[in-house]
Structure 1
């Protein structure tokens, strides 16, 4: 199990270039673009969401990953969640692989009960521009995400634009994460803490 610690910031689309310049200057190199396509699963009654669990398949340039995220906290843009991730051979969930790495019996019990009726509920498709930054003794992955959340509901497609920054602490003290956020916010006016993650936005589309 790992605990994901990251700060999410809503990024006004017209400030994306300024954020790009900030991270490029700090990292000393341009960001790397990674296209990501994600499928989120739940039961028709949203049993996973009710248990504050998110389950997704992600297509990356290197292959497919499945990720299970358990209940967490979000305040002031700072997100903390337990997560478990494994590679899979194709665009299909592999429950045994998740069970082998997940040490949260409550989350596994919910997942096993939901398994027979799991289906796709929504998708997120975006390009992630990535930088790895050494900052105040910490290693931080900075990302600009731009794309869309989409959900098919009653034969209609609903969508919501994605434009946000994620700062994930890979190693070191959380204080460095907050200090970097302060510098970024001073350099790029208009940023705001984002306490709603992409999965929550997808569920909101399903509920409208």
Structure 2
């Protein structure tokens, strides 16, 4: 029987050596309790025409030890730096996909389930640290591994803050705290989107023609700036600042005590430096998360 829930999480990408630093810092916090460490093998499925990805859905079977879980996720919304999406889960008896379980989900009538086949894997070790600060309970997962598709591999080093209960804004608070301790990159690109890109099947809003001046409903310049950063990270390219009101973002950064850091980030991007060149520096992640915190009304001391 399926369990359906709403998932809310903030995802940060880190350089490999910084992931070790992040683990040390998180473990040392008085609100932290060390959790489990597991090796996770995740096989993602789609049709040859990538019909699931076109509908911004991701389907996988995960092996953790001798347990297998089949999961379907929607892409959902981006809210204050966090992904919010629906998720269905079923325990299954082995690594093989069970298409019949999808019949009662939104995919049941939209996709030819008989055409589903494996397209890529995301395999990593996950270390869990639980955070309970009295206002929220957060599961912090540190993932270290790789994505594999078509004989190619791409490294995977991430920290995910997922809300278990309490105030959703605490996700942003904790992500900011980590960004002050070590360099991070707020990444809007999911593991599944990275896998599709490696498999040559990317059909993502992030990789669409986002560098035009068109704004999606409800998006502001910060949302568009963050999407462009993530898109450039995925494509290992450069970020266009065209059509963005950088002066407004600079004023917000200044009001939040990040004026100099934001100026350094914008100068680097204006000089056409790739996002990858900024990943080892603290300014990028601090500005991403600080601007979101300013918009959310969080104080500097949060």
* TM-score interval, normalised by the smaller of the two chains: 0.7 to 0.9
Matches within 5 A, 1:29-68: 29-68=33-72
Q: How many residues align?
A: 197
Instruction: Give the deviation of 1:191 after TM superposition.
Output: 0.5
Structure 2 unaligned runs (5+)? 202-302
Contact 1:69 1:82 in 2 (8 A): yes
Whether 1:184 aligns to 2:184 is no
Q: 1:118 & 1:94 partners in 2: Cα distance?
A: 10
What residue is the counterpart of 1:165 in the other structure? 159
Q: 1:135 & 1:92 partners in 2: Cα distance?
A: 40
Instruction: Give the deviation of 1:131 after TM superposition.
Output: 1.1
Runs (4+) of structure 1 exceeding 6 A deviation are none
Instruction: Give the deviation of 1:62 after TM superposition.
Output: 4.6
Higher relative contact order (CA 8 A, sep 6+): 1
SS at match of 1:207: coil
Whether 1:10 aligns to 2:13 is yes
Q: 1:122 & 1:97 partners in 2: Cα distance?
A: 21
The structure with the largest strand share of the pair is 1
SS at match of 1:108: coil
Superposition TM-score, scaled by structure 1 size: 0.88
Q: 1:99 & 1:172 partners in 2: Cα distance?
A: 33
Contact 2:80 2:172 in 1 (8 A): no
What residue is the counterpart of 1:139 in the other structure? 137
| Closer, same or farther: CA 182–136 of 1 in aligned 2, 3 Å | farther
- Structure with the greater alpha carbon radius of gyration: 2
Q: 2:157 & 2:98 partners in 1: Cα distance?
A: 31
What residue is the counterpart of 1:150 in the other structure? 148
Q: CA RMSD in A?
A: 1.8
Q: 2:125 & 2:55 partners in 1: Cα distance?
A: 29
SS at match of 1:127: strand
Superposition TM-score, scaled by structure 2 size: 0.61
Structure 1 unaligned runs (5+)? none
Q: 1:28 & 1:71 partners in 2: Cα distance?
A: 29
SS at match of 1:124: strand
Match 1:93 to one of 90, 97, 114: 97
Q: Is 158-167 or 132-141 further displaced after alignment? A: 132-141
